Amino acid sequence: MFTIFTNVGQIIQTGRAFQLVFLLIIGALGYVSYYLGKKGKTWEIRPLEGLEATYEGIGRAAEMGRPIMVLPGISDLGNPQTLAGLTVLGEVAQQSAEIGVTAITSASNPGVITAEEAIIRSSYTAAGKPELYSPGKYVRWFGGDQFAYAVGAAGQILGEKPAVIVYMGYFLFDVIVDGETGNRIGAVQIGGTLGSMDMVALFCDNILIGEELYAASASITRDKIAVATIAGQDWIKLITLGIMILGVIFSLAGSKVIWEILGR
Amino acid sequence: MSSTIAYIRAYLSRFLVIVGLLATLISWYFVSPEATAIANELTYWNMDIYTFTLFVGLLTIFARYLNGVRTRAKYWPYQLYAMILIIVWIIMGLSVGLYSDLYQTAYLSTKITLHIAILGQLVFFMVSAGYRVLRIKNFRTALFAICMVSVVVLNAPWLLSVFPAADKISYWLLNNPAMAGGRALLLAGGIGGVILGIRLLLGLEKGALRATE
C-alpha cells in the first residue's frame, strides 16, 4: 500500500506526496472548523496569558498617561508572524484610541510601514476620532537592517517611554536591545514570536509561546469564526502528535514504515 | 458603480492570491512544466511588486520626512540627515554599481562597524536579563541558570579551559531538549501559519487587510 506514494513519482514530485496529502488535510480541517463556526458552534480557548496582559496593559497605559507600543517585527508582509502582529496592532490601536491612549509603532520594512499607517488611520476612524490621526505621528521607520532598527526602536522607547511594549512578530537579535531598553524604563513587556522565543522569554514579562501568537491574532479580534479556525489547528496538531507517536513505536520496533510514508 | 468597484477590490486580490497560490503549490508538488513556468513567472511578478512596494515605502518615508523637516517636527534634523544619506547612497549605487569596490567598502565599513558595536553589547544585555529572570529562588530556576551559564561558557573558548565539562553539557542541552522544544515550536508554528493563510483567504484575518475597511 505504501508504494503508492513512490509509484506516482512521475506525477508527484519525489518525496512530497505525504506533504501534499497533509496540506490538503490541514486545509480541509481548517475549512471544516470555519464552516462549523459559521453554523454557530463556538469554542472557548483557554486564556492566553500574553493576550490578557495586553488588555491589562492598555488600561495600565491609560492610568499612567503613557503610550502603548506595538512592534510587529523586522520582517515583511509575506511573513505570517508579521501579519499576526499587525492584527494585534490594529486591535490594540483601536481599543487605545477609544480610551484616549496613544498607540505607537515602528518597523524596518517600508511595506510594513505603509500597512501600519493604514491600520492606525482606520483604527482611529473606527474609534470615531479620525481627526487625531496624522501621518508619521504614530509610525516610525528605522531602516531595513535589524540592528539599525533595534537602535532606532530603542531610541523611540527611551523618548516616548511607553507603559507597555508588545512584541508580536518576527524578531532576531533586535529584541535583545529593545527588550533591555524597555526594561530600563519600567515598561511591561509582552512578547510573541516563533524563532527568537528564547530571547523574548528573557526580556518579556508575559509571552505567547509559538503558535499562541497566531491564536492571539484570531482571539484578539473576538471574532467567533476566526477563533473556530483555532479548533482546526488543534485537530491538526493532534494528528501530528499521533503520527509522531506511531513513528516512535514503529522505529523502536525496527520498522521504517512511517519513515517511508513521510517520503524519506 | 461604487458597489462594483468595492466588489472588485474585495475579491480581485483574493483571486490573484489564489491563482498564485495554486501555481506555486502545483509546481512544488506535481511534475508539471506548465505550472512551474507559471510559478516562475508569478515569482518574477512578485519580485517586481515587492520592489514597487519598496519604492512606495521610500516615497512614503520621504513625504513624511519632508513634512517633518518643513514643520520642524521633533526629530527633524535626523529626518533630514536620513533623506540626504538615502539620496547619496542611491546616487552612488546607480553610478558605480552595487558590487563595485567603492560601494561595498563604504557599505561594509559602516554597516559592519555598527553591527560589531551592537553585537558586543548584546551579551551584556542577555546576561543582565538572565540574572533578572533566573534569580536562583528554587530548584527550577537554579537548573535554568546552570544551563544558561553552561551555554554561555560554550561560546567563550577561554572559559572552556576553566570549565571543560561545559562543552558536553552544552552540546547535550542544545541537541536534545532545546532541539526538541525548537522543533515543537516550528511544527506548531508551521501549522499555525497555514491556518493563518486560510483565514486570510477566507477574509477572516483583519490584520493588514484592515486598511480596506
Buried b (16+ CB within 10 A) or exposed e, B140-156: eeeeebebbbbbbbbee
All structural domains of chain A with their residue ranges: 4-41+224-261, 49-219
Out of A183, A211, A225, closest to residue B189 by CB: A211
Query: In this structure, which topology does domain A49-219 adopt according to CATH?
Result: Rossmann fold (3.40.50)
Q: What is the mean pLDDT of residues A2-26?
A: 73
- Cα dist from B64 to A126, B78, B139, whole Å: 23, 13, 53
Q: What is the DSSP letter of A13?
A: P
**pLDDT number for residue B210:** 52
A209 vs B: CB within 8 A: yes
Question: Residue A166 pLDDT > 90, yes or no?
Answer: yes
User: Each residue of A172-205: pLDDT tens digit?
Assistant: 989 999 999 999 999 999 999 988 888 898 899 9
Q: How large a percentage of chain A has pLDDT more than 90?
A: 45
Residue B171: all three cell numbers together: 552540546
**pLDDT number for residue A5:** 43
Other C-beta atoms lying within 10 Å of the C-beta of residue B157 = 8
- Is A45 in contact with A214 (CB distance < 8 Å)? no
Which chain A residue lies closest to B185 (C-alpha atoms)? A210
A38 vs B: CB within 8 A: no
Which chain B residue lies closest to A94 (C-alpha atoms)? B210
**pLDDT number for residue A7:** 47
State the smallest CA–CA distance between residue B86 and chain A in angstroms.
Answer: 10
**pLDDT number for residue B1:** 57
B72 vs A: CB within 8 A: no
Out of A177, A210, A214, closest to residue B196 by CB: A214
| pTM for this prediction | 0.83
Q: What is the mean pLDDT of residues A33-58?
A: 88
Out of A19, A123, A223, closest to residue B204 by CB: A223
B197 vs A: CB within 8 A: yes
Q: How many residues does chain B have?
A: 213
The interface predicted TM-score (ipTM) is 0.81
**pLDDT number for residue A59:** 93
Residue that wins the pLDDT comparison between A104 and B42: A104
**pLDDT number for residue B207:** 57
- Write out chain B's pLDDT in tens, 213 residues: 577 887 777 778 778 777 778 878 888 888 888 878 888 888 888 888 878 877 887 888 888 889 889 999 888 998 899 899 999 999 999 999 989 999 999 988 888 888 888 888 888 888 888 888 777 788 888 888 888 888 878 777 787 788 787 788 888 888 998 898 888 888 888 888 888 888 877 777 765 555 444
User: Each residue of A128-160: pLDDT tens digit?
Assistant: 888 988 888 899 888 778 888 999 999 999 999
Residue A44: φ, ψ to 5°: -100, 130
Question: Residue A21 pLDDT > 80, yes or no?
Answer: yes
A77 vs B: CB within 8 A: yes
CA distance B203 to B17: 12
Q: Report the candidate in A115, A118, A138 with the shortest Cα–Cα distance to residue A126.
A: A118
Decide: residue B9, CB within 10 A, 0-12 exposed, 13-18 middle, 19+ buried: exposed
User: Each residue of A53-74: pLDDT tens digit?
Assistant: 999 999 999 999 999 999 999 9
**pLDDT number for residue A3:** 44
Q: What is the mean pLDDT of residues A105-128?
A: 89
**pLDDT number for residue B155:** 78
Question: Residue A1 pLDDT > 80, yes or no?
Answer: no
**pLDDT number for residue A2:** 42
H or E element in which residue A64 lies: helix A49-64
Buried b (16+ CB within 10 A) or exposed e, A95-115: bbbeeebbbbbbbbbbbbbbb
Other C-beta atoms lying within 10 Å of the C-beta of residue B119 = 13
**pLDDT number for residue A264:** 60
Mean pLDDT over each residue of chain A, to the nearest integer = 88
- Is A160 in contact with B155 (CB distance < 8 Å)? no
B206 vs A: CB within 8 A: yes
Q: Do A225 and B53 touch (CB under 8 A)?
A: no
pLDDT confidence bin for A238, thresholds 50/70/90: very high
The 3-state DSSP class for residue A193 equals: strand
- Residues in chain A within 8 Å Cβ distance of B200: 83
The 3-state DSSP class for residue A249 equals: helix
Q: Do A214 and B192 touch (CB under 8 A)?
A: yes
Other C-beta atoms lying within 10 Å of the C-beta of residue B85 = 12
Q: Which value, in Å, is the radius of gyration of the alpha carbons in chain B?
A: 26
CB contacts < 8 A (A, B): 184
Q: Do B208 and A86 touch (CB under 8 A)?
A: yes
SS (H, E, C) chain B: CHHHHHHHHHHHHHHHHHHHHHHHHHHHHECCHHHHHHHHHHHHHHHHHHHHHHHHHHHHHHHHHHHHHHCCCCCHHHHHHHHHHHHHHHHHHHHHCCCCHHHHHHHHHHHHHHHHHHHHHHHHHHHHHHHHHCCCCCHHHHHHHHHHHHHHHHCCHHHHCCCCHHHHHHHHHHHCHHHHHHHHHHHHHHHHHHHHHHHHHCCCCCHHHHHHC
Residue that wins the pLDDT comparison between B175 and A223: B175
Angle in degrees, 0-180, between the axes of helices A110-126 and A80-99, rounded to the nearest 10? 30
